Chains A and B, each alone.
Chain A
């Protein structure tokens, strides 16, 4: 197995009396697509900033591309591509200029940058917008431009913090497609997300983070297998009845979870559980059988939903 491109051991970041990252350890192999899944405030962005060599760790070990960020910040940053959570494109510049100027920040030669800018505009499907103002772009286009910009220095690792937050479904799918292509080309991706579908689509392996700690680690399929049943039955009895009905559902399925708006029944066979419930004389307003997802894993591990 090739040497990991990122190694974190017992990584911590303390802000005054708050431990934003509280002792997490992970490794990322070259070419791998690695995810940090967790709710807002779990410490994902702080971890990303430390990996991006723009934040100094409080304690623990961290190696990026074999270098310690405490000693080699700029060397590391010159080999990373960063897509921050909030777009920070240069709105005083046009689309293509954003790429040209960003390339100069890395001290790259103009000609190299110009060639790469054209390739990247094509990759980001923004060729026709090359002379447009940044503010005139849609949210999805801005995101694609930010990704193109992050690739201008031909980075060895691409860090993406919540890449599709705030985008509509269609824009998300376009973005996923682009990221999937990068992955196929062998770019190492590290991304944070609080969308489980995103993690399932893009991540080879992921860690579930909450309160600055790792709750679980594995491939999406492994995590679901280890922490959830094959299927989930969702039943709704109305907001005021769910809790009361839940008491009568004891013994149904492997496990049940009561949420404010619905009851989740974990089982290998959701349909069979629904039959048992109706035979017991309970008639849900709506019911739905689906496969377990990372959302269920998260709920199991933390007792909370990802998006609250």
Chain B
């Protein structure tokens, strides 16, 4: 406000150079903004999303489970509730991550012009991408941790390996947040956004969530195995039921690739949109 002259405490941006420099090492400022926004305006939405998978668990697991009885898995029989709970845990991580990284991002990008404002400062597109994705990831992690506690209380964690379900759901949330934001950054209209839901719902219902995928013909199984949720469900189910084997690392790898692809495309897209 006073005469321009001296510069005070300017953080010299690090990382790449140029108009479209990628990274200023300040994604925490983007996250801090998200916390504040959540606190002051939309915490109710956050809380409501938390209960959704719990309702599924109670109705399907406890209610329907009484009719179904045991489910045969490769490592022996488990109760129906213990069979679907890890799947719903993966879904909880997915939902939390997807909500923040798709509709929220779509709104900020197209209507609130939030990223335009951010990228007029010393922030780079990677700061924005990482900040927003981390926020979505934390929301997914928050949903999933709560759900894991409910599972514990209901006796649905059958092994100490279940502790590793926590980092596993972080990974799953990270993957969905990252890919979700990348896809959203290419969307221009509400109709296109609906396609995301169009993919999410069948994926939720069919990815070995409520019954094993062996009921499908081989071709359908392949399609499901190509989708991300199935990998999450298998990974988490292996951990909470104690059926741990090296093959689970393939699922971890799947998510690692998904995270990298998502961050790379989100960053590229933000750069193309706001730093032309």
Q: Please give the residue numbers on chain A whose beta carbons come within 8 Å of chain B beta carbons, in ascending order.
A: 30-31, 49, 52-56, 69-75, 77-80, 82, 84, 86, 88-94, 97, 101-102, 104-109, 112, 116, 119-120, 123, 151, 153-157, 182, 185-188
Q: Please give the residue numbers on chain B whose beta carbons come within 8 Å of chain A beta carbons, in ascending order.
A: 1-4, 7-13, 17-21, 24, 26, 29-30, 32-33, 36-37, 40-42, 112-114, 116-124, 274-276
Q: Measured between C-beta atoms, what is the minimum distance from B11 to chain A in Å?
A: 3
Q: A112-B8, A185-B1 are in contact. Are A93 and B40 (CB under 8 A)?
A: yes
Q: A54-B274, A74-B13, A75-B13 are in contact. Are A105 and B19 (CB under 8 A)?
A: no
Chain B residues near A74 (CB-CB < 8 A): 13, 21, 24, 122-124
Chain A residues near B116 (CB-CB < 8 A): 84, 88
Task: Tell me whether B121 and A120 are in contact (CB under 8 A).
Answer: no
Contact of B32 among A84, A101, A188 (CB under 8 A): A101
Chain A residues near B41 (CB-CB < 8 A): 92
Q: A78-B121, A109-B9 are in contact. Are A55 and B275 (CB under 8 A)?
A: yes
A–B complex contacts, Cβ < 8 Å, 27 sampled: A30-B4, A73-B18, A74-B13, A74-B21, A74-B24, A74-B122, A75-B122, A78-B11, A79-B10, A88-B112, A88-B114, A88-B117, A90-B117, A93-B37, A97-B36, A104-B32, A106-B11, A107-B24, A107-B122, A108-B9, A108-B11, A112-B8, A151-B1, A154-B1, A156-B7, A185-B2, A187-B4
Secondary structure of the B side of the interface? Answer: loop
Task: Tell me whether B33 and A54 are in contact (CB under 8 A).
Answer: no
Task: Tell me whether B113 and A78 are in contact (CB under 8 A).
Answer: no
Chain B residues near A153 (CB-CB < 8 A): 10, 121
4 A-B pairs with the lowest CB-CB distances in the bound complex, closest first: A107-B11, A74-B13, A88-B113, A92-B37
Q: Measured between C-beta atoms, what is the minimum distance from A110 to chain B in Å?
A: 10
Q: Measured between C-beta atoms, what is the minimum distance from B161 to chain A in Å?
A: 40
Q: Measured between C-beta atoms, what is the minimum distance from A45 to chain B in Å?
A: 12
Task: Tell me whether B12 and A75 are in contact (CB under 8 A).
Answer: yes
Task: Tell me whether A90 and B21 are in contact (CB under 8 A).
Answer: no
Task: Tell me whether A186 and B4 are in contact (CB under 8 A).
Answer: yes
Task: Tell me whether A73 and B21 are in contact (CB under 8 A).
Answer: yes
Chain B residues near A90 (CB-CB < 8 A): 33, 37, 112, 114, 117
Contact of A102 among B18, B117, B275 (CB under 8 A): B117
Chain B residues near A49 (CB-CB < 8 A): 276
Chain A residues near B120 (CB-CB < 8 A): 52, 54, 77, 80, 82, 84
Chain A residues near B26 (CB-CB < 8 A): 104-105, 107
Q: Measured between C-beta atoms, what is the minimum distance from B120 to chain A in Å?
A: 4
Q: Measured between C-beta atoms, what is the minimum distance from B119 to chain A in Å?
A: 6
Chain B residues near A91 (CB-CB < 8 A): 112
- Tell me, in angstroms, the Cα distance from A172 to B276 when the chains sit together: 31
- Tell me, in angstroms, the Cα distance from A90 to B121 when the chains sit together: 14
Task: Tell me whether A92 and B42 are in contact (CB under 8 A).
Answer: yes
Task: Tell me whether B21 and A119 are in contact (CB under 8 A).
Answer: no
Can you name the residue of chain B whose Cβ is closest to the Cβ of A73? B19
